[in-house]
Chain A
Amino acid sequence: MNPCQFCGAPATVHLTDIVNKKKREMHLCESCAREQNLIPDAPSPQLNLPALLQLLMSQLAPSPSEADADDLDPASLTCPDCGLKYAQFRADGRLGCPEDYDVFLPVLMPILERVHRGLQHRGKTPKAVQEQMAKNEIADLKAQLTDAIAIEDYEEAARLRDRIRGKEAAG
Chain B
Amino acid sequence: MNLDSLLPNLGEWLRGNGPESDIVISTRIRLARNLAGSPFSNRASAAQKAETEARIRDAIAKLDLPHKLDYVDVSKLTPIDRQFLIERQLMSRELGSVLEGPRGVAFDERESVSVMVNEEDHLRLQVMRSGVALEEAWAEIDHLDDLLETKLTYAFHEQFGYLTACPTNVGTGMRASVMLHLPALSLTKEIEKLFRSLQKINLVVRGLYGEGSRASGDLYQISNQVTLGKSESLVLREIREVISQILQYERRARQLLVKERKQAEQDRVARAIGTLGSATMITSEETMELLSTVRLGIQLHLLEDLPATTVNQLFIHTQAAHLQKLMGTPLDGEERNSARAKYLRNKLRELGASQR
A98 lies within 8 A of chain B by Cβ: yes
Q: B residues within 8 A CB of A121?
A: 157-162, 171-172, 228-229
Of the stretches B4-12, B19-27, B32-40, B59-67, the one at the interface is B32-40
- A122 near B230 (CB under 8 angstroms)? yes
The distance from the CB of A132 to the nearest CB of chain B, in whole angstroms, is 10
Q: How far is the CB of B334 from chain A (nearest CB, A)?
A: 36
Complex contacts, A124 vs chain B, CB 8 Å: 142, 145, 161-162, 172, 231-232
Chain A's closest residue to B31 (CB) is A124
B163 touches A98 (CB 8 A): yes
Complex: A69 Cα to B343 Cα, angstroms: 63
- Report the separation of the CA atoms of residues A116 and B169 in the bound assembly, to the nearest whole angstrom: 9
Specify which chain B residues have a CB less than 8 angstroms from the CB of A83 in the assembled complex.
43
**Chain B residues, CB < 8 A from A126:** 149, 154, 156
**What are the interface flags for A88-132 relative to B under an 8 Å C-beta threshold, 1 for contact and 0 otherwise?**
000011111110010000001001100111111111111111000
The reply to whether the CB of B155 lies closer than 8 angstroms to some CB of chain A is yes
B36 touches A123 (CB 8 A): no
Q: State which residues 160-174 of B face A: CB under 8 Å.
A: 160-168, 170-172, 174
Instruction: Assess the A127–B149 pair: CB atoms within 8 A.
Output: yes
Interface 1/0 per residue, B135-165 and A, CB below 8 Å: 0000000100110011001111111111111
- How far, in angstroms, from A16 to B15 measured CA to CA in the complex? 66
B52 on the interface (CB 8 Å rule)? no
Residue A84 lies at the interface, judged by CB distance under 8 Å to chain B: yes
Indicate if A139 sits at the interface (CB-CB under 8 A): no
Q: How far is the CA of A108 from the CA of B149 in the complex (A)?
A: 27
Q: Check: A87 CB closer than 8 A to any chain B CB.
A: no
Q: Which of A94, A98, A108, A129 contacts B42 (CB 8 A)?
A: A94
Interface majority SS (helix, strand, loop, mixed), chain A: loop
A9 on the interface (CB 8 Å rule)?
A: no
Contact pattern, A 140-167, Cβ under 8 Å of B = 1, otherwise 0: 0000000000000000000000000000
The reply to whether the CB of B226 lies closer than 8 angstroms to some CB of chain A is yes
B231 lies within 8 A of A123 (CB): yes
A82, CB-defined interface residue at 8 Å: yes
Q: Does B53 contact A (CB under 8 A)?
A: no
Our pick among A97, A111, A120 for the contact of B167 (Cβ within 8 Å) is: A111
Residues of A close to B119: CB separation below 8 A? none
Given contacts A82-B43, A126-B154, A133-B158, contact A94 B229 (CB under 8 A): no
B152 to chain A, nearest CB (A): 10
Residue of B nearest to A93 (CB): B166
Chain A nearest Cβ from B242, distance in angstroms: 17
Q: Which chain A residues lie closer than 8 Å to B159 at the CB level?
A: 119-121
Interface centre among B153, B228, B230, B231 (most CB of A within 10 A): B228
Partner of A115 from B37, B155, B174, B225 at Cβ < 8 Å: B225
Instruction: State the CA gap A111–B234 with chains docked (Å).
Output: 22
Pairwise interchain contact A98-B36, C-beta atoms closer than 8 A: yes
Distance between Cα atoms of A121 and B145 in the complex (Å) = 17
C-alpha gap A114/B43 in the complex (Å): 25
| Residues in B neighbouring A115, C-beta threshold 8 A | 167-168, 225-226, 228
**Are B226 and A94 in contact, with the CB atoms below 8 A?**
no
Given contacts A94-B40, A98-B37, is CB(A122)–CB(B229) below 8 Å? yes
Please tell me if B87 contacts chain A, counting CB pairs below 8 Å: no
Q: How far is the CA of A120 from the CA of B158 in the complex (A)?
A: 8
A127 near B165 with CB under 8 A, answer no
Whole-angstrom CA separation of A150 from B163 in the bound complex: 41
- Asked if B250 is at the interface (CB within 8 A of a chain A CB), the reply is no
B318 contact set on A, CB distance < 8 A = none
* Max chain B C-beta neighbours (<10 A), residue from A96, A98, A112, A118: A98
Q: Would you call A118 and B228 a contact (CB within 8 A)?
A: yes
| Residue in chain A with minimal CB distance to B153 | A128
Does A101 contact B163, Cβ atoms closer than 8 Å?
Answer: yes
User: Do A95 and B230 touch across chains, with their CB atoms under 8 A apart?
Assistant: no
Instruction: Identify the closest chain B residue to A98 (Cβ).
Output: B155
Q: Which residues of A contact B171 (CB under 8 A)?
A: 116, 118, 121, 123
Tell me which residues across on chain B come within 8 A of A93, comparing CB atoms. Answer: 166-168
A116 x B229 contact (CB < 8 A): yes
Instruction: Provide the residues of chain A in CB contact with B225, threshold 8 Å.
Output: 115-116
B227 lies within 8 A of chain A by Cβ:
yes
> Which residues of B sit under 8 angstroms from A94, Cβ to Cβ?
40, 42, 120, 165-166
Contact present for B157 and A98 (CB under 8 Å): yes
Residue numbers in B under 8 Å from A108 (CB-CB): 167
* 10 A–B contacts from the bound complex (CB under 8 Å): A81-B39, A92-B42, A93-B167, A98-B34, A116-B171, A120-B229, A121-B158, A122-B230, A126-B156, A128-B153
Closest 4 CB pairs of A and B: A118-B229, A121-B161, A96-B43, A98-B155
Q: A98-B155, A122-B231, A129-B156 are in contact. List 6 more A-B contacts (CB 8 A).
A: A82-B43, A98-B163, A119-B159, A120-B228, A122-B230, A123-B171
